[in-house]
């Protein structure tokens, strides 16, 4: 049974929305759906359940959303979906979803989604309680409204910094986010400083230093006059002319998540009411940052491959279209490398699918270490990867492919010292292209080159040629003479 409201989402305009399908519309499904409806980056492609009276189905009806009664797999194959939430808790359903032929969407299981949504709900409840506590703090209420309206991390970070400046009346401020694993702080927003200030965007937490002291406290750290603190040795702030500051640690239940600094270029005193307001602002900031992090984690599920952590094929297609348009418009080279793991079926047959998964994960990490920071690598298919390289001509693409090929052959990703190799197909858009090829044509060129590389014996790099199927790279040509 299909709702009469249903309309194929393939007709939806391509405006960057994440198209989501929910399976399981009980109370939990209704809770997830109600939150998804708040976000402007989401389009609900459908809600499915066996029970036509399930709470989530009733909510979908009220909202005029597509809903489906029956086996969801029958409906999914006719929809354009990026992300499917499996809220049934049924392992068989999860297995069937992952086994769908030509599946183009990622699957999120109930435990993951419930954990994230529960966290968001808890943070929203804290926000409601805090708003009631704010009462007469009109400025804080306004700052809270700014944070609630913010849709990106950058907007939230800027609202927090501006909030601190308004609360203290100090002319400058900054916000740094703490990476516990790396023991580093990352500057994410700042106001009132020179352009030089932003060059020191990452700094380590030194044992026994002031930053470690701030992160370990539950209270703001006050420096009314830096001249009275001879041990203060932050050259960046001293160069900016900072003479006094307040450092407010942003603390969650799991530990510190950052520091909000408010700075002045003259010595000053700090009142108890100012410190109390900053404590409340810190609580608001922590809630806003954690909510946004949870939402971004959910959103990233639609563009990341769950096994390798690389971008998925859907996201790659969006980036590829934009990069091809740019390269053609500016007459700049653009290359793609299509990479296939040699004899991958034999790997699964001999060592099992778990080892096969470990190989794909290991390759994704290896490629990430070798490619340039601004290149885009994605999992393109089962054992295929695609590397998109902007501003890269054919010789440069061949050199990059040879580095990856050599590194793969040298890496020991299989048991028993079993060698593993990859084959590479390269397609390059030159600056003098007569017309802009479609993304499908561009990838097909690389695919033809990859086919020739595998036919020639594998562990090779081949380049697409318009006048012939492909040609091997120089180094491989020499090896085969």
pLDDT tens, residue by residue, 185-196? 999 999 999 988
Which of these, 171, 168, 185, lies nearest to 222 by C-alpha position? 168
Q: What are the pLDDT digits (tens) for 376-414?
A: 999 998 899 999 999 999 999 999 999 999 999 999 899
Q: Are 43 and 64 in contact (CB under 8 A)?
A: no
Per-residue pLDDT for 245 more than 80? Answer: yes
Q: What is the mean pLDDT of residues 234-247?
A: 90
**For the residues 294-318, what does the mean pLDDT come to?**
79
pLDDT in tens, 160-218: 999 999 888 899 999 999 988 888 899 999 999 998 888 778 888 888 788 888 888 88
Mean per-residue pLDDT of the chain: 84
- Could you tell me which residues come within 8 angstroms of residue 456 by beta carbon, excluding any fewer than 6 positions away? 462, 472, 480
CATH code given to domain 313-479: 3.30.70.270
pLDDT bucket at 359, cuts 50 / 70 / 90: very high
Pair of tokens at residue 356? 């096969």
Domain boundaries along the sequence of the chain: 9-109, 135-299, 313-479
Q: Is CATH 3.30.565.10 what the domain over 9-109 is classified as, yes or no? A: no
Question: Across the strands, what pairs with 172?
Answer: 263
**Average pLDDT, integer, range 306-333:** 88
Report yes or no: 250 and 286 within 8 Å, Cβ to Cβ: yes
CA pair distance 102, 270, nearest whole angstrom: 63
Candidates 423, 435, 453, 163; CA nearest to 287 is 163
Cβ–Cβ < 8 Å for 474, 398: yes
382: nearest Cα among 77, 103, 35: 103
pLDDT at 196: 83
- What's the predicted TM-score (pTM) here? 0.52
Percent of the chain at pLDDT > 90 equals 44
| 3-class SS of residue 413 | coil
Q: Assess whether pLDDT exceeds 80 at residue 252.
A: yes
Percentage of the chain surpassing pLDDT 70? 85
What span, in angstroms and rounded, lies between the C-alpha atoms of 432 and 331?
6
Pick one of 3.10.520.10, 3.40.1280.30, 3.30.450.40, 1.10.220.10 as the CATH number of 135-299.
Answer: 3.30.450.40
Name the strands in the sheet holding 376-379, side by side, starting at the edge strand that comes first in the sequence.
376-379, 384-390, 334-341, 422-429, 461-465, 468-472
Query: What distance in Å separates the CA atoms of residue 448 and residue 176, rounded to the nearest whole number?
Result: 48
């Amino acid at each position: 049974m299909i709702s009469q409201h249903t309309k194929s989402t393939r007709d939806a305009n391509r405006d960057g929305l994440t198209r989501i399908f929910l399976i399981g519309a009980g109370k939990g499904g209704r809770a997830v759906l109600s939150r998804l409806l708040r976000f402007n980056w989401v389009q609900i492609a459908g809600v499915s359940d066996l029970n036509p009276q399930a709470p989530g189905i009733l909510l979908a009806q009220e909202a005029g959303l597509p809903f489906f009664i029956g086996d969801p797999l029958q409906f999914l194959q006719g929809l354009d979906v990026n992300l499917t939430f499996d809220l049934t808790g049924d392992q068989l359903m999860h297995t069937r979803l992952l086994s769908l032929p030509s599946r183009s969407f990622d699957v999120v299981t109930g435990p993951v989604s419930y954990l994230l949504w529960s966290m968001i709900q808890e943070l929203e409840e804290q926000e409601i309680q805090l708003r009631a506590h704010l009462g007469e703090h009109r400025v804080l209420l306004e700052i809270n409204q700014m944070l609630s309206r913010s849709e990106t991390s950058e907007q939230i970070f800027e609202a927090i910094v501006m909030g601190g400046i308004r609360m203290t009346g100090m002319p400058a401020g900054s916000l740094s986010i703490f990476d516990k694993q790396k023991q580093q702080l990352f500057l994410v927003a700042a106001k009132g400083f020179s352009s030089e200030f932003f060059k020191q965007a990452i700094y380590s937490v030194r044992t026994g230093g002031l930053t470690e002291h701030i992160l370990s406290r539950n209270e703001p750290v006050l420096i009314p006059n830096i001249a009275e603190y001879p041990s203060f040795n932050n050259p960046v702030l001293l160069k900016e002319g900072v003479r006094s500051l307040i450092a407010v640690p942003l603390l969650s239940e799991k530990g510190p998540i950052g520091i909000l600094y408010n700075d002045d270029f003259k010595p000053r005193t700090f009142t108890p009411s100012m410190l109390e307001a900053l404590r409340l602002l810190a609580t608001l900031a922590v809630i806003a940052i954690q909510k946004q992090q949870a939402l971004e984690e959910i959103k990233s599920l639609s563009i990341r491959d769950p096994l390798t952590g690389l971008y998925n094929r859907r996201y790659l297609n969006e980036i590829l279209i934009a990069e091809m348009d740019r390269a053609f418009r500016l007459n700049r080279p653009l290359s793609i490398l299509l990479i296939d793991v040699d004899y991958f079926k034999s790997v699964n047959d001999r060592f099992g699918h778990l080892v096969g998964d470990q190989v794909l994960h290991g390759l994704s990490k290896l490629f990430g270490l070798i490619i340039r920071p601004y290149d885009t690598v994605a999992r393109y298919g089962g054992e295929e990867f695609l590397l998109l390289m902007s501003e890269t001509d054919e010789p440069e693409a061949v050199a990059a492919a040879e580095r990856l090929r050599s590194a793969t052959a040298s890496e020991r990703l299989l048991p028993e010292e079993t060698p593993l190799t990859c084959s590479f197909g390269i397609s390059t858009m030159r600056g003098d292209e007569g017309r802009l090829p479609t993304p499908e044509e561009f990838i097909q060129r690389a695919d033809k080159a990859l086919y020739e590389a595998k036919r020639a014996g594998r562990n090779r790099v081949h380049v697409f040629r318009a006048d012939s199927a492909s040609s091997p790279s120089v180094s491989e040509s020499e090896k085969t003479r």
